[in-house]
Amino acid sequence: MKWWTTSWLLIKDVALTGTGLWIIYRQAVSAVPSDVLLTVGLALIAPSVYDHAKAVLSGRTDGPSSSSPAREPESPSLPSSSGAGTGDRPGPAG
């Protein structure tokens, strides 16, 4: 299942979006742009735009493709009692 998910993300974010952007660019610089090709270009970039907009609007920082909720940060570990944090570090040489 992980292989398919990774493949779909790669196809969606690179192949579909890249092709859509290329079509839109070619129509933008064309002397006679085609409405049909512009629509096809927009349809090709729609899945990526949707995922990225959903991630931005929900405030998630773990990526748009992750289906798991954002994890809470772990508490920092306490220093060990073997001299760490006791101030016996050597000072700057000079």
Q: Return the amino acid letter for 36.
A: V
Helix, coil or strand: residue 27: helix
Per the structure, the complete domain to which residue 23 belongs is given by 2-57
Give domain status of residue 47, yes or no.
yes
User: How is residue 63 written in tokens?
Assistant: 């990526």
pLDDT-derived band at 12, boundaries 50, 70, 90: confident
In this structure, is residue 65 part of a structural domain? Answer: no
Q: How many domains does the chain have?
A: 1
Tokens read off for 75: 């508490």
Alpha-carbon distance of 18 to 22, in angstroms, equals 6
The answer to the question of residue 83 being in a domain is: no
User: What integer is the mean pLDDT of 14-39?
Assistant: 93
Q: Strand, helix or coil at 22? A: helix
Is 92 a domain residue?
no
- Please check whether residue 87 lies inside any domain of the structure: no
- For 48, the token pair is 């990526």
Residue 39 has pLDDT above 90, yes or no: yes
User: pTM for the complete prediction?
Assistant: 0.55
Q: Is residue 78 part of a domain?
A: no
Residue 72 lies in a domain: no
Place of tokens 């299942």: 1
